[in-house]
Every structure is written in structure tokens, then in C-alpha cells.
Amino acid sequence: MVHVVLVEPEIPQNTGNIARTCAATGSVLHLVHPLGFSVSNRYLKRAGLDYWHLVEVHHHPSFDEVCRRYPDRPFFFATARRGRRYTDARYPDGSFLVFGKETTGLPAELLEANAEQCVRLPQREPARSLNLSNAVAVLVYEALRQQGFPGLR
């Protein structure tokens, strides 16, 4: 199993698309507030289509709360600029894949404090980053590939 953590996501369509990925893979979705939209937003629901009932969603008031609730789990922090390639990391069952908001990513101090757990998707310059929902899909499927795609056909 994989856990996807979105820290203060801003764009409802991205979160809806990520929810759809979680539904298709059995991944758990964690939303860290504040959100840049209402969970009743029609764009969020439309992007998730009719998959919302298949997603286990947890809401958290802060990222610190996520860490307190899951102290012994492996965390990996997605970033566009630092860390090892995502394919060089090993994602055990129960891994938490952490992603920042679309406009700024994860806070620099969080990345610095967890430098050994930072992973990145290689990309060419001058591209800033991939779309959040695309980055989540790539990392989720790599983690599940390493685990042998448990429960997937």
C-alpha cells in the first residue's frame, strides 16, 4: 500500500485526478489543510469522476499532524530540484509519498530536514516541474511496481 500526501493543494482538478489515481491503485489519500478549494468544488468532483467512493481520504490540519499519526512509516518528499532520482529510492509497503502545493512545492526547511528522503523526477531545463497529478502518478506506480503491484490486475 502507498499513501499519497498532498500538502496544501491549490488546484481542485489536480486533486481530483490524484484521487482517481488513488482509487485505481488502492492508495490512501491524505489532504493537509488549508486547501486552496472546497472539497465540494465541482471541478474536484468532476476530475475524480465517479471514483470518490473508492478512495480512502484523510484530512489533516497540518503536516506535523501526519507525522505524529504515522511516526514509524517511511516518508519520501517529492521535489523538482534536489534529492536522488525517484527510481533510485526503495519504497517499502506503507510508504508515504509527500507532495507540495502546485505553486511553490514543499517548504525548503522541510526538504532540508529530510534531504536523505527527497526524490525527484528527472527533467530537462528550463522546465520548472511536471503537473502535480502527473508526478504523483509516476511515483505511485514506481512504488507499486517495486512492491509487485499488490492487489492490482
CATH number, residue 9: 3.40.1280.10
Position 152 in a domain:
no
Position 32 in a domain:
yes
Q: Are 91 and 146 in contact (CB under 8 A)?
A: yes
Position 68 in a domain:
yes
pLDDT at 69: 97
Position 130 in a domain:
yes
Position 136 in a domain:
yes
Closest CA to 151 of 37, 23, 65, 38: 23
For the chain, list residues with pLDDT below 70: 41, 43-49
pLDDT at 37: 80
- Rounded distance, CA 73 to CA 66, Å? 10
Binding residue ranges for S-adenosyl-L-methionine: 100, 121, 129
pLDDT at 41: 61
Domain assignment of residue 104, given as a range: 2-146
Binding residue ranges: 100, 121, 129
Position 14 in a domain:
yes
The answer for residues whose C-beta is within 8 angstroms of residue 64's C-beta and 6 or more apart is: none
Position 66 in a domain:
yes
Closest CA to 121 of 133, 132, 112, 130: 130
pLDDT at 85: 96
Position 90 in a domain:
yes
Q: How many independent structural domains does the chain possess?
A: 1
pLDDT at 48: 57
